[in-house]
Structure 1
Amino acid sequence: MSFRFNFTCDDLELEETDVQDQPLESSLGDLSLEEPNVNKIASQVYDIMTSTLPEVIQADQVTIPGVSNPLYKRTLADVKFQLAQQDVLDAQQQTGDSDEVLDMLQLTGNSDLIRGVYEGGFKTWECSLDLVAFLAQLPEDQRQNKTVLELGCGSALPSLYLLQSHQGNQVDVQDYNSQVLHLITVPNILLNTILTPSAPQPDNATAEDIEDQPVTTNGTEQQDESGAQADEADDEEEVVDVMDDGTTCDAEADIPLDKADEMLTCVAQRSKAYFGDWESLPHQLGRTYDMVVTSETIYSQEALPSLIGVFQKALAKPHGVG
């Protein structure tokens, strides 16, 4: 089957007899499916209520052709600002330490991925914009009052659009790294469903001061790559501008400390979150979905069986759509 959006359970040949009689590996033709020796993170539920929120979230506005309302995504500069203010990941969250997150942020700047360690969730990929544009052109009855699962969510732009566009949608999210869910996905859901982002106030502390400094890991200063990034920027298309990790933000939103738990409760009422590898994800879900979406770029063919397995097991029969 060639690549396309909007395939159905029938396209996946989800009849029980077909699945039993034809192993998934054999149905993928000549692909070499031997999994490399990596220490994969087993799929787990991410407790949204454990997220530690900053007092202010700074965001970039994302405008997508065909989508009436803009989306907001947290800036990476603001993530660095939060890490500099408090040792959240070490002291309060069991999601890794600050040095590990800084390593991931540095990899994001280099567009590097490490199988089984970091899967690119801190970077907003252009294909996620394409997926939002595709969802926006669907008839309303195909994208309202739906249960949806987004795989490899990262910034979760497709989920943000579905949550924002209709209150009846229940959208669960999954990313390989729990740090991404904590620092990017959950804040983005807040920005687009509960908070009201506005133009940044000049008298507030800004994340630019942190962004302008080279990232440090274990006390070692990383080389400044601003020159190389500037050269590459000249060749980028206009749509990619929304993915830049620049030193400015378009909007910010305050989070009153006494309202943080209430806000997270609202997020948890419409979304569940999962992290870890796809292979064990279906056992964690405990439900099927009207729609499963992903804008993942599959850079390792060994990941295909697990991804297809999630679609086979997570789509509701017979009318689930992926």
Structure 2
Amino acid sequence: MADGAEPAFRFNFGKEESDRVQEEQGAPDYSEPAAEVVHRPQPGVAFFTEEVSIAEGLALVKGIISSDEAATILSDQRIAASDLVPGKYEGGFKLWECSLDLCTTLLDRYKVVPDRVLTDPELTTELNGKRVLELGCGHGLPGILALMSGAEVHFQDYNQEVLRRLTIPNVIANMVRLPRSRPRPPTRYFSGDWRLVGEHLTSRGYGGHYDFILSSESIYSVPAQERLLECIKQLLQPPHGVALIAAKRYYFGVGGGTKSFRNLVEEDGIFEVSVVAQVDDKTSGNVREVLMLKFPAAIHPYFL
């Protein structure tokens, strides 16, 4: 487990248990409409944080919201016992291991020096001036790292309350640690299902396309993979846009993971896909990977 991350998904059950949960919860209705979430301070709502080590010389801070608190915030007691309630809650109040892997990948690939992120008043990185979207952001640490590194960042989560109670406070808590002279790139926040978010962002004057799309632990099931891929196809900027997807190779009991997602992307034929980082998690017996999606040299007719 990555340092500072919370325990692995609690829905690592077998097929019979998976079928039983689906039967009890019913067919998930992924129809949460897309909307921009505007930051409104919430006086009297405590926000507790702790540090999370990203790399030697760099720690970010994350909010602490328990499963019971998440259930209260979203008015659904099922959330107290499960990290996934399909169509209702997508685990946004938890910090997953692969989000930290994605942070490490950003540091390594885009010349971000860890011990300068919080101290350099004129930090220069390959992310300066780029437009970044983090899908299924939750805590938003990869997006926050990109923001600290000079990118304009938009954060998306299925639940508005995850953005209001966790993502936005996390962004504020980390950005106030930067030198005062460091420019603060703009941020925006969007909620809703991926099938609707792509259309919303391309049709409402939000700029539409992104140089980088980031996502962690979001491809745990085949339906989730299909919805995420369609969103990326709508929003990634050709011809040089890059999507980085961090996840486990397998999510036992729910059918997803990097292996099946790679197959889906290859069958779809729009993007080239490769593994750019890998962590052998001996504790769980699983492998965590970061996948890169990019456009082939010849742009697919889909984008012409």
Please state how far the C-alpha of 1:301 moved relative to its aligned partner. 0.8
Report the Cα distance in structure 2 between the residues aligned to 1:163 and 1:53, rounded to whole angstroms.
Answer: 26
Distance change >3 Å, CA 136–CA 111, structure 1 → 2 = farther
SS in 2 for 1:162: helix
Contact (CA 8 Å) 2:163, 2:189: kept in 1 or not? yes
Q: Select 2:139's aligned residue among 155, 160, 169.
A: 155
Deviations 1:68-98 (A, max 9, x none): 3210111116x95xx9xxxxxxxxxxxxxx8
- Letter aligned with residue 69 of structure 1: L
Please name the residue that 2:242 is paired with: 321
Q: Which structure carries more helix by proportion?
A: 1
Please state how far the C-alpha of 1:277 moved relative to its aligned partner. 0.7
SS in 1 for 2:156: strand
Report the Cα distance in structure 2 between the residues aligned to 1:134 and 1:41, rounded to whole angstroms.
Answer: 32
SS in 1 for 2:89: coil
Report the Cα distance in structure 1 between the residues aligned to 2:89 and 2:39, rounded to whole angstroms.
Answer: 23
SS in 2 for 1:43: coil
Please name the residue that 1:125 is paired with: 96
Report the Cα distance in structure 2 between the residues aligned to 1:110 and 1:179, rounded to whole angstroms.
Answer: 18
Is the aligned partner of 1:282 residue 2:272? Answer: no
Contact (CA 8 Å) 1:151, 1:296: kept in 2 or not? no
Please name the residue that 2:127 is paired with: 143
Please state how far the C-alpha of 1:51 moved relative to its aligned partner. 4.5
Report the Cα distance in structure 2 between the residues aligned to 1:131 and 1:148, rounded to whole angstroms.
Answer: 14
Please name the residue that 1:47 is paired with: 37
Please state how far the C-alpha of 1:111 moved relative to its aligned partner. 4.3
Q: Select 1:116's aligned residue among 87, 99, 107.
A: 87
Report the Cα distance in structure 1 between the residues aligned to 2:75 and 2:63, rounded to whole angstroms.
Answer: 16
TM-score by length of 1: 0.54
Q: Which structure carries more strand by proportion?
A: 2
Distance change >3 Å, CA 53–CA 175, structure 1 → 2 = farther
- Letter aligned with residue 275 of structure 1: S
Unaligned runs of 5+ in 2: 1-25, 112-124, 203-207, 244-304
Sequence identity (%): 33
Report the Cα distance in structure 1 between the residues aligned to 2:155 and 2:105, rounded to whole angstroms.
Answer: 19
Report the Cα distance in structure 2 between the residues aligned to 1:192 and 1:100, rounded to whole angstroms.
Answer: 23
Please name the residue that 2:224 is paired with: 303
Greater length-normalized contact order (CA 8 Å, ≥ 6 residues apart): 1
Contact (CA 8 Å) 2:31, 2:193: kept in 1 or not? yes
Distance change >3 Å, CA 285–CA 59, structure 1 → 2 = same
- Letter aligned with residue 292 of structure 1: I
- Letter aligned with residue 197 of structure 2: L
Report the Cα distance in structure 2 between the residues aligned to 1:137 and 1:111, rounded to whole angstroms.
Answer: 34
Report the Cα distance in structure 2 between the residues aligned to 1:133 and 1:53, rounded to whole angstroms.
Answer: 34
TM-score by length of 2: 0.57
Aligned residues: 196
Deviations 1:277-316 (A, max 9, x none): 1001111113100000101242321122221111111111
Please name the residue that 2:205 is paired with: none
Which stretches of structure 1, 4 residues or longer, exceed 4 Å deviation after superposition?
Answer: 53-56
Report the Cα distance in structure 2 between the residues aligned to 1:299 and 1:177, rounded to whole angstroms.
Answer: 18
Deviations 1:140-171 (A, max 9, x none): 3542221000000001110111112x2x3100
- Letter aligned with residue 41 of structure 1: S
- Letter aligned with residue 101 of structure 1: L
Please state how far the C-alpha of 1:189 moved relative to its aligned partner. 0.3
SS in 2 for 1:145: coil
Unaligned runs of 5+ in 1: 1-35, 84-97, 197-265
SS in 1 for 2:58: coil
